[in-house]
Structures are given as structure tokens and as C-alpha cells.
Amino acid sequence: MCGRFSISGDTFNQMVRDDIGCAFSAQASPDIRPSQQIATIIYQQGQLAQQEASWGIKPDWAKKQIINARAETVNEKKLFHHAMQNHRCLIPCSGWYEWHEEGGPRKQKYLFGHAENRPFYMAGIWFPGDTPELVTLTTSPDETCRPYHDRMPALIHPKDAWQWLEGNITSAMPLLTPDKSFPITVTAV
């Protein structure tokens, strides 16, 4: 789930600044992939700030890079517990991609975007270091996404940004449940 996403140009950064209330400037890209540097929003020293982080972590024991974690169990997993408690982030995006089998030899690629051309805010956790790293969180799909994939990004409403980023774990966890109020469109690409 969500191994690629996009950031549109023009008004995207201004919409994020208006929604979240902090300086933000991300490079537009139609195809952001794991291991790339990603513009995130974090809570630091009493305010929201932009931070660049590399998408994915690779613990010594892992055979491949880990880019996603299940929202339902992220706080219980030893690998993610500290970051979930102390280092939550938002990843603004224009949409994300999923591939779905359509009965032929190739899978069809779909873009999941905001019906009102607004940014989405994916929930994530980050890991401090010389180059911070991040993992996006996934949840059960809503009605729009369910026919295409069994997971979707855990999306945070802009009004809940502060609660997600600087609130305690008890107030942050309920924000990770699937929410039917996100107006999502699906486009074959």
C-alpha cells in the first residue's frame, strides 16, 4: 500500500501553509518513491516546522526497506513504539497510487486524489539521525478505496494536525481510524 505518491505544483505549498499554519515548500513531483527525500511537517520546540526525511528505514535484520507500518499496531511494535510516542509527522501530498489487477497480464495504476483538489495529510512517524527517516502509516480502506486495495494511508484532517503532532498518544491514536469524510476520487492513469 502506498508505495508512491504525488505532489502537485502551483498552489499546493500555499494550501498546506494555509491548512497547517507553518512555512512549507515542497518540490512538485508526480511520482515520489521510497528512499527519496520527502518534505514533512513535525512538531519541534513548541511549533510546527518543515523537515526533510528519507522515506523508509532498513534495520540491520530487515531484508528490504520498510516504508509503511500498520496504524492499528504501530504503537505495540518495538521497532516503531518510540517514534510513535515521540516523533509523529505529517506528509502532505496531492494523492497516492495503487496498482490493481484487472484480469489481464498487467496491473492498472490508479491515482487517489482529493475531490476538491486539496492536499491530503498522511500520518507518519520519523526516526532522528543525521538524515531523518520516516515511515508512513496505513489503515483499513474506506468505501472508495476498498475495491482497489486492502490498505490506504492513514489520513489526518488539517484541523487535527496539532493533536496528531504534539498530542499525547491517547489523543493521537483515535485519529488513525478510517474516515469516510475525506472526498477521494479515483482515476486510472
Each residue of 118-174: pLDDT tens digit?
999 999 999 999 999 999 999 999 889 999 999 999 999 999 999 999 989 999 999
* CA pair distance 93, 77, nearest whole angstrom: 26
45: left (phi over 0), alpha (psi -120 to 50) or beta: left
Structural domains in the chain (count):
1
3-state helix/strand/coil string of 105-163: CCEEEEEEEECCCCCEEEEEEEECCCCCEEEEEEECCCCCCCCCCCCEECECCHHHHHH
**Mean pLDDT for the stretch of residues 41-64:** 95
Contacts of 62 (CB under 8 A, 6+ apart): none
In this prediction, residue 107 carries a pLDDT of 87
Output the domain CATH number for residue 150.
3.90.1680.10
Mean pLDDT of the chain: 93
Looking at the predicted structure, is the pLDDT value of residue 188 above 70? Answer: yes
Percent of the chain clearing pLDDT 90 (strictly above)? 85
> What cell numbers appear for 124 in the block?
507518519
Residue 93's domain spans which residues?
5-188
- Secondary structure letter of residue 28 according to DSSP: -
Whose CA is closest to 85, among 5, 164, 7? 164
pTM (two decimals):
0.94
Q: Is the pLDDT of residue 179 over 90?
A: no
**Amino acid 104: pLDDT:** 75
- Of the candidates 5, 40, 173, 186, the residue with the CA atom closest to the CA atom of residue 100: 186
Alpha carbons 90 and 134: distance in angstroms, whole number: 10
